Structure 1
Amino acid sequence: MRVLGVDPGLTRCGLGVVDGRAGRRARLVAVDVVRTPADAGLEMRLLAVAEVIEAWLDRHAPDVLAVERVFSQQNVRTVMGTAQVSGVALLAAARRGVPVALHTPSEVKAAVTGDGRAGKEQVAAMVTRILDLPATPRPADASDALALAVCHLWRGSAPTAVAGHSGAPTAAQSAWAQAVAATRRR
């Protein structure tokens, strides 16, 4: 399965493509961050992000688009920009018939670190380790996009057949399952 992870943001939007299957190691295909200038008009910023996401969808032909689920924060401007970029990504995928999956930040953190409250540095370190990368993807938006893609790869598989493990679920797999269950209860 090929997953395009999108960490939506108006100033920086992370994009990461990962290949993998249940029970197999995930492999990095591509990673980048789309940047838009804060002094540009909103419509031009959204257009710039849309064009890059569309190009990635066409170039990498993912089986699914995994996007971070927007949640309420204190800063309304940040939430609005994130939601608008999410909408752009969802629309681009819908136009191409690419299925979309939304994952909460705690689901993603639990999937890759085993802790739904892990910090950005811990997520980045685990993404680097999981994908066997020579260096940590920077900025954090790049690591977050890859974490979304890895989370989705592991999401659809049985807990005992994730990331090359067999037998009982790992601590990360158990924490991921708990985060998913908690999200569904809300």
Structure 2
Amino acid sequence: MVQGINDRLYSYAFIIGEADKNAGKRVVYVSADMGAMFTAVKLEVIKRLKADYGDLYNDDNVMLTATHTYVSNAGYSHQQLYQIASTDDTLAGYSSQNFNAIVNGIVTSIKRAHATLTPGTLSLAQGELKGATVNRSEFAYNNNKDAKDFDSNVNETMTQLRLNNADGTPVGLINWFALHPTSFSNKFGGVSES
């Protein structure tokens, strides 16, 4: 069983909207250090945001994503198949404590982003990263009828959105490039914290 902490898990929230801070048109993008994002998490996040912000943040303009790390909490899905997969030697497949910790963390990151809204700029960059990633199953990929129509068996295009304050100070980056950098096994012992 995995125990201890190697690194903290984070939720990064970005709010992108019109120049008028009170304008209703905005988008929330959250990247959370989790294995997967489940509908139950999003529904609860939206419910809690609605209590504080009304309809400003809703299902249409809040996007929650997971980094797909393998060393994060389990047992937070309301779907039974994932609960079975999360079962450990205690036979606990669902943990309301884990679920609430995840939801609270995401809501907190969105509230912090909301409280620090400031004018800024966006810039988009795109480029090719040849050889930076690999296909995890070339055999399966090659069974696609159109596999030979592409130069590579992976998408080697990196897309990155940069967010800056109005004075040019970097606020954050959102990057879309497919990697699978998992390096911990289920035998990982972690680092104890006191």
Q: With structure 1 as the length reference, what TM-score do the two structures score?
A: 0.25
Structure showing the higher strand proportion among its residues: 2
TM-score (ref. length: structure 2): 0.25
| CA radius of gyration, larger in | 2
Higher helix share: 1
Which protein has greater RCO, CA pairs closer than 8 Å, 6+ apart? 1
